Amino acid sequence: MATQVTLTQRELLSLSAEVRSQVREATSARRSPTKDASNVRTFYQDADLPYAIDDLEPPTRPTVSSFVNVLHQPETPPPGAIIIPDTYETYLKSLQPGQVPQPLIVAKESSALRSIVPLVDHQQEVECVIDPGSQVIAMSEGICNELALIYDPEIVLNMQSANGEIDRSLGLARNIPFLIGDITLYLQVHIIRNPAYDVLLGRPFDILTESIVKN
């Protein structure tokens, strides 16, 4: 019985089911449980920053002010206001559903020398060139941005430069108040990119105000 017998691993496993079970348990990969989740969270927590906003006393907490700008560019002019409509927008409104509008080409530059300086949108005095030869009232994009005016990009014009090139306007700003003396006019203004003027008061302004020029 003391004689040694040499067996291969395969032969040994084939002889005993218990041995096979122990070997399988010892050699099989196991999924180890993760550490306590609270420890993991603590590991990733940063130290509190000094002078954090949450640590400030109530009197020193920053306040956020919110307000509504109700002064500039009202949606509806007050009753009895003088409103000068835009000729092109009036034409568009007269079209039947599905009817394609005819393109309107107006001059981009102006050689007019007459000008006035009204208060525009209750904010800023702007030099306005008076040109009865223009079919529209127009404003430069720069002045529009300074006054933070809102315009409708759906209504655009074809603007013809002196060299014959055609550029499209940016849109139409509606009911912009112009204070001239003690009279406030609400104008429909086309916004133009890089014109030779700040504001151009065309034929609609000249006709409806019945302006008279004395040389």
Segment 120-124 mean pLDDT: 93
Domains and CATH numbers, the chain: 82-96+103-209 (2.40.70.10)
Give Cβ neighbours of residue 126 (< 8 Å, ≥ 6 apart).
Answer: 117, 118, 120, 143, 198, 199
Segment 21-45 mean pLDDT: 61
Query: Would the pLDDT of 142 be above 80?
Result: yes
pLDDT value at residue 12: 67
pLDDT category of residue 11 using cuts at 50, 70 and 90: confident
pTM beyond 0.95, yes or no: no
Computed over every residue of the chain, the mean pLDDT equals: 74
φ, ψ for residue 214, nearest 5 deg = -110, 120
Angle value at C-alpha 114, between 113 and 120, nearest 5 degrees: 120
Beta strands 119-120; 171-180: pairing state:
antiparallel
Give Cβ neighbours of residue 13 (< 8 Å, ≥ 6 apart).
Answer: 19, 20, 23
Distance CA 174, CA 189 (A): 6
Asked if residues 190 and 139 have their Cβ atoms less than 8 Å apart, the reply is yes
Query: Would the pLDDT of 43 be above 50?
Result: no
> Could you tell me the two tokens for 121?
């949108």
Q: Could you report the per-residue pLDDT of 147-156, keeping only the tens digit for each?
A: 999 999 998 8
Closest CA to 107 of 125, 90, 129: 129
Give Cβ neighbours of residue 99 (< 8 Å, ≥ 6 apart).
Answer: none
Name the more confident of 41 and 189.
189
Q: Could you report the per-residue pLDDT of 71-116, keeping only the tens digit for each?
A: 455 557 777 777 767 766 766 777 778 777 766 655 555 555 688 9
Distance CA 98, CA 94 (A): 12
Closest CA to 190 of 201, 178, 177, 206: 201
Segment 113-128 mean pLDDT: 90
